[in-house]
Amino acid sequence: MNDRLLRAARRQPTDTTPVWLMRQAGRYLPEYRAIRGNIAFLDLCKHPDLAAEVTVQPVTRLGVDAAIIFSDILIPVEAMGIHLELGDKGPHFPNPVRTAADIDKLGVPDPVEGTGFVAEAIRRTRKALNDSVPVIGFAGAPFTLAAYMVEGGGSKSYILIKRLMFEQPELAHRLFGKLTDTLIPYLKMQVEAGASIVQIFDSWGGELSPWDYERFCLPYLKRMVSELKATGVPVIVFGVGMSTHLSLLKSTGADVVGLDWTLPMDEGRKVLGPDVAVQGNLDPLHLFLPCEELEGRVKDILLRAGPVGHIFNLGHGILPPTDPEAAKFAVEAVHRLGTALRQGTLKP
């Protein structure tokens, strides 16, 4: 296996910098669109053969160092007993969670019974790849999932989830606890199926102040990270707009902390210290730059991150209008320049 990503996550030497791209299996790839044109998104997530096929596509086309299983962070939420609609405009819950009774109705599903198709997709992905690169498993963090459930979908102000937290904190904690009880076995199932590393997406964690994040989110993330690390796999935590939360993310005990593009990598390193690996942090829209400028951005990030304990990635997901050739160029630049960095020949 090409184990660069696993070695980097454990802060071990690598021959070059490993790279994968969030949302690397998706609408920017014509081969994905060809499959997606014949099946609804949620059905695609639940079809192990097709989910494995689209998981493998970016590995084949781009040469990335890992495959992330094709799924959605809301898959385990649906298994808890809430109706989910997923379309091109994003997720929608027709019957959002707003009351104590709503929370009480939610179940803690058996992961195999409720979401076993994810495990099967991982197994089929490993077989299709012949274990040439690691498979990344993932889940959303309790706050991010709760935000979707309470708001009924995406939000600009997050007023409903925040009001629940501030006006009825005991209900919010009950919801976060039930989500955590669901997510831990869900991720363990992915590890048992063959995921070699897992990422927890707290996509909307940056909407909270550090004080609120520490109070409402940190206990649950710490528990998730602790139980997942006990399985022996590295754990990545990532959120958008969380440059002021890095010390909190470090305190979860995660092996890797992902950074978005709003903070230079070396400044993030100073906050996190030498005992945590980092992931990131190219602005997804930099993939629209001319190749020479894009290479310059890649080079700058590599120099700031250093040769040990860095997984190159975007600061958030790749965008649908992106040219796959630009993504491939970036991946190749990371590998080429990452080798030079280790040889001491990469200069500012």
Q: Would the annotation count 209 as a binding residue?
A: no
- pLDDT at site 179: 98
Q: Would the annotation count 11 as a binding residue?
A: no
Which residues are bridge partners to 277 per DSSP? 256
> For the chain, which residues score pLDDT lower than 50?
none
Q: Would the annotation count 25 as a binding residue?
A: yes
Q: Would the annotation count 173 as a binding residue?
A: no
- pLDDT at site 1: 87
Active site residue 123: no
In which residue are the tokens 């990371």 written? 334
- Contact at 8 Å (CB) between 43 and 93? no
Angle between helices 111-129 and 169-193 (to 10 degrees): 40
- pLDDT at site 283: 98
The number of C-alpha atoms within 13 Å of 179 and in the hemisphere containing its C-beta is 31
- pLDDT at site 58: 98
**Catalytic hit among 32, 148, 186, 213:** 148
From residue 93, alpha-carbon distances to 76, 82, 198 in Å are 14, 8, 26
pTM score of the predicted model: 0.97
Where are the strands (E) in the chain, listed by range? 67-68, 85-87, 90-92, 135-140, 197-201, 235-238, 256-258, 277-282, 310-314
Query: Per the domain annotation, does 348 fall within a domain?
Result: no
Q: Would the annotation count 57 as a binding residue?
A: no
**Catalytic hit among 3, 10, 27, 297:** 27
Q: Would the annotation count 27 as a binding residue?
A: yes
- pLDDT at site 38: 87
- pLDDT at site 86: 83
Q: Would the annotation count 215 as a binding residue?
A: no
Active site residue 336: no
- pLDDT at site 151: 96
From residue 231, alpha-carbon distances to 54, 68, 223, 274 in Å are 27, 19, 13, 23
**Catalytic hit among 4, 7, 11, 23:** 23
- pLDDT at site 211: 97
**Catalytic hit among 10, 36, 215, 336:** 36
Tokens, residue 176: 């976060």
Length of the chain equals 348
- Closest by CA position to 302, among listed 271, 326, 338: 338
> What Rg, from alpha-carbon coordinates, does the chain have?
19
Q: Which range marks the domain in which residue 124 is found?
A: 3-343
Q: Would the annotation count 23 as a binding residue?
A: yes
In which residue are the tokens 């997606």 written? 36
Active site residue 33: no
pLDDT digits (tens, 9 = 90+) for 122-158: 999 999 999 999 999 999 999 999 999 999 999 889 9
Q: Give me the number of domains the chain comprises.
A: 1
**Catalytic hit among 11, 28, 72, 255:** 72
- Which CATH number fits the domain that encloses residue 78? 3.20.20.210
- Contact at 8 Å (CB) between 252 and 274? no
Active site residue 28: no
Helices (H), 106-168: 111-129, 142-151, 159-167
